[in-house]
Amino acid sequence: MDIIDFIVRIALVVATTVLFGMVFLAYLRSRSRKMLLISVGFGVFFVHALIAVPEIFTSASISLDENGHLLFHLIGLVFILLGILKD
C-alpha cells in the first residue's frame, strides 16, 4: 500500500468522525426525529469508516468487497434522505 493511500484513508476516517460528531451534537441539542435519522445515517458512514481501518494495516482482517461498500453507502444515504424528507 502506498503512503499516499494510507494518508488519504486516515484523513477520510478523521473527516467522517468529525462530521458524525457534529451531526450527533446537533441531534443532542434539538432532540428531533429528523436529526435522529440524519445522525443514524452519518453513524452508518462512521461505522463503515471504522471497519475500513484494519484494511490499511493488514489484508487478513475483515475485508469488504465493492458490493459491501456500496451497501453501507446506500443504507447511510437512505437514512439521511429520510431525515431530510421527514418534515
Domain housing 11: 3-84
How far is it, in rounded angstroms, from Cα 12 to Cα 26? 21
pLDDT in the model for residue 57: 64
Q: Give residue-wise pLDDT tens across range 2-22.
A: 788 888 888 988 999 999 999
How far is it, in rounded angstroms, from Cα 25 to Cα 30? 9
How far is it, in rounded angstroms, from Cα 79 to Cα 38? 6
Instruction: Count how many domains the chain has.
Output: 1
pLDDT in the model for residue 3: 84
With CA atoms as reference, report the closest residue to 39 among 23, 28, 18: 23
Q: Give residue-wise pLDDT tens across range 39-63.
A: 999 999 999 888 877 666 665 556 6
